[in-house]
Chains A and B, each alone.
Chain A
Amino acid sequence: MLPKSQRRAYVRYNKGSKAIKFYNVATKNVLTARNYHFLNPVDPTPPEELAINMPRLENGGPIQCEGGENPPCKGGEEEGNTWKVIPKKRTASDLDLDIDLEEPQKTRGVRPDYKYMNDPFPDEEEARIIDVQEKAFAVIHDDDCNNLRKAKVSPEWPEWKQAIETELDQLKCMGTWKLVEKPPGVIPITNKFVFAKKRDKEGKLQKYKARLVAKGCAQCPGYDFLEMHSPVIRVETIRLLLAVAAKRKLYIHQIDIKGAYLNSILKEKVYMKQPEGYDDGTGCICLLIKTLYGLKQAGREWNHEFDSKMRKHRYACLQSDPCIYMWHIGEDFAIIAVWVDDLLIFATTINL
């Protein structure tokens, strides 16, 4: 175990994903983590000593002190979002103690009885926590501001507001979602605005850009998405094409597709809250029709969309690199190299 890691109590496997849920005794939170390691615990110390040493926990909640043995937790059947844990008497050999390394004396040998605790965090709360963690690690550039609250207090708020409205107009125009009544049992994923200032080559400010992104981290694998892989071009291929272009004096042209991901249609049913700060107050939620930025499957669906449209126009895709599309008539030919929404077109004549 690394010195940074901390001991936590295992709760259950997370629905659909490779993560586990664990319980943090110090903050009384249930959180999700993928980076974990099961411990074989140290010898359980006699319970008499322990009960004395844990006043905080006993005051704080309905936690029972079990004598001698540590009842291991076993995940109940997952049904919807509720879960319960069935404590069962067993030896201590196969469970992990909920000991925080900094305060080891508080909980050793004692487990809270999960039966009495409701899930303290519905999924959206977790998304908030993940978000906080992300922010803590994100490199904040001068140019970027990934928080609506921060943008509102910044002196450039009028520009940002304009950018947000442009983005919402684009989303509405593309028909990205429709508003529906919230079906029972559905937890919509949340969203946020990301802001960036676009600069040109000399570093001069070109425009303010805002983009609404869904928090794909809250999506459940197997429920909200199945596959998320999509091909990108190999860098060798770009270099080879450039070498050929130099020799054969091909025309090169670069095209960028606007709001590329918003063009493809979402197959799964994904519900999202209304845009952060632009809620109309009716309590409706958005049923996504098009893939919004931030969804796990957005890249894949966009590639499908692009591929089918290109095939319709009778471009042939290479087997060795699925991101190269070719087309030729006699001596003339054109090659398209695709990097998500950036296209490089190599052609023998300027008209192509």
Chain B
Amino acid sequence: MDGDTNGYRWIGTRTIRPDGVDKVTGRAAFGADFSLPGMLVGKILRSPHAHARIRGINTKKAEVLAGVKAVVTSADFPEILPAEATKGSSPPNYRHLSQNLMAREKVLYDGHAVAAVAATNAAIATEALSLIEVEYEVLPHVTGVLEAMAEDAPILHDDLFTGGVDPKPGKPSNVAKRVEFAIGDTDAGFESADLIVERHYDTEGIHQGYIEPHAVVASMAADGQANIWCSSQGHFMVRQYCAGLLNMNIGDIKVTPAEIGGGFGGKTTVYLEPVALLLSKKSGLPIKMVMTRDEVFRGTGPTSGSYMTIKVGAKQDGTITAAEADLRFFAGAFPGAPVHLGCMCGFTPYDIENVKAVGYDVVTNRPKAISYRAPGAPIAAFGIESAIDELAKKLNIDPLALREKNAAKQGTRTAYGPTLGVVGFEETLEAAKNHPQMSEPLGANQGRGIASGYWFNVGGESSASVSVNEDGTITVTSGAPDIGGSRASLCIMAAEIFGINIDQVRAVIGDTTATAFNRHTGGSRVTFALGAVVIEAAEDCILQLRECAAKTWDIDIDAVEWENGEARPAGDNAGKFEPLTLPEIAEKTPMTGGPISAKKSSNVQGPGPAFGTHICDVEVDCETGHVKILRYTAIQDAGRAIHPGYVEGQMQGGVVQGIGWALNEEYIYGEDGKLQNPGFLDYRIPVASDLPMIDTVIVEIPNPTHPFGVRGVGEIPIIPPMAAVANAIENAVGLRLTSLPMSPPKVLAALDNGD
């Protein structure tokens, strides 16, 4: 695939990323690497209880401790009333966001922020926290999704009534909403099935696991103007949320993005920034706040855990006649589990006439859930792809063949509404069928599993500017943080459009004053959407370059063409002029109308939905339940791989997160509702020795709505792995495991009980 660059000069090549040298030398500045003179250290006091009413907070002793310059509690934040919870088209419920930022009447999870201090050093700040007296009235708590839905469950919010049900309930509930997506008639569909499989599945809470804890340096002056340096997935989001939470003007806040040490969705909200701003205003000094790893686990993330029921029916020949999913996701302390996305994506790889997916968003006494890489879809896929596998085995049809028989393609109607355009699912299945891993021999207690996945990818508000510098080099300024190599891709796209050498292009992520609004980095959108506006801006610049050449030659602009980085006459009739290179035109611009640049802003639509199919080989140690990954191949439709190295990297990274989710990662809560494993020792993400090389195959079915055919790639890879591993275990030892993680004690117990 690498040899064939489809006639492109840069698209599809493995250029060195422009921000790379700083990162391999330790020079790159991440969130915790900034400092300002006179900076204070900020720290947060967190609830030790899973659920409690706050009877009173006394901060006097902390305030008078030498070295303490400011103390804040929720009393210092504006109260956001239910009517104010929605602000324009900004995504969050600001009332919930505010209550999560700093608890008001109740603490709702072990780790919920209650107060914060700023002091001259970390030791004093820590001591100050211990001097804050909080009177708690401990309440019964609930951490499991089914328990939270039960009649007698402790209720987290007295003002939460289940949405999406008719008639509207009169009693508050932990069920925030019910959603349903359906087409056809599943009852009739199951009637006509020759075989039905139905099972329950459950998954635990999972953290995104980024290696960089949240960090911010913030400075707010007495007049309310503020500067923030932080790592996040969206500095415009940080600005917007801080303004909304603190009743500030958006224009009074400037956010400068630091390099970000991983996000995966977990840094698409704010935890520290508004607190740091208030501490800064109160103390009159800049504040630095960096979370400890313990705080990251107890106070941020995670994604939902679930209880699911999946039912699929098919004819003997493998035609799937009906499919149903009942997905119950816990959202943590405030509503917002991505259950609707799970409902929408889960069955989409298959062309099924009758589908019904029902979802429940349930609150529990855990940290507030936030996005994690294709939110909701990996969870649903664990159940659904396991069910498809079970169906295949019971029908005695090869799992790939069953998927091929029912594959979604262009024209397939999805259960959530849209009809699919040009997509590449069948191509991923074909590539899987022909992959060498499929013919690797399997020994005793070894097995192979297949699973697929779908994600819609998104577009969204994107703003960028492209400038031609005086020497003809190009600067691309955009406003969405680079979390996976997107600067490299933007440079490639710009270099391709201009027809110049890649080293003539630099991409920078500007602060919030440098471009117009950018939606945060997420939803696999940056290469697609920012790419689209950068291309537009580059094309506008080329128009201006052609105009300059036209002026210089005193001919009509239509007689000037642009090719390979230079302007040339469109034909002999235009005149015999020597081509003008980019640098040559750039240096003439004072005479030809001024500097050349273009700014584009757009709410980019038409992202290319994408599919992946994975092959996983495992070996099970039947005496200990240990599962070893022997081989793994991820196949994915990328539309067009702008930089194959970074596309492969996204695939491999997502696969390994999925393997961790499958085998060992989980939040472990005690009976007391406290988190028992808030660290990397006992929250077990995969280490290098756990894994083989991850083989990748990039399939390219170009997305017709993008100039280069790009589809988002970052999120698909985490969707299939859990089912791929489960299906491989089933193939190895004949056990269908339905509870994540499939950790050794659970695998061994299942083996011993012959489940």
A, B: real partners: no
Residues of A within 8 A of B (CB): none
Residues of B within 8 A of A (CB): none
